[in-house]
Amino acid sequence: MKLITAIIKPFKLEDVRHALIDFGVEGLTITEVKGFGRQKGHTELYRGAEYTIDTLPKIKIEILSNDNDATNIIDVIAKSANTEKIGDGKIFITNVDEVIRIRTGETGSDAI
């Protein structure tokens, strides 16, 4: 099993979510996060004063998948989140040893 974690721009969330649902993803976790990469934030002007924003708002999406679906899910995210501009985000893939559904006690792929 794989845990796919994607960090994307907030305005791409609906595009990514709909693409994942169309692909057949049944569950995901969405978290509002802040961070920075190569951009290192930016400066803004507010009431005549310039200030630096060190972290930018992002969305973190986490999906647990079987090994055979992971590559396709990654492709769906990459295509639907792409704006071809800096700050599009990253996708991380982590191996998952075990999953347990709390309600039923199911384990492994049955718990996904």
Q: What domains can you pick out in the chain, each with its CATH number?
A: 2-111 (3.30.70.120)
Q: Which residues of the chain have pLDDT under 50?
A: none
Burial pattern 16-25, b for ≥16 Cβ within 10 A else e, equals bbebbeeeeb
pTM: 0.85
Nearest Cα to Cα of residue 42 among 105, 96, 3, 87: 87
- What type of residue is 100? I
pLDDT tens figures, 97-106? 999 999 999 9
CA–CA separation, 13 and 9 (whole Å): 7
Query: What is the per-residue pLDDT for 39?
Result: 66
Write the DSSP symbol of residue 85: S
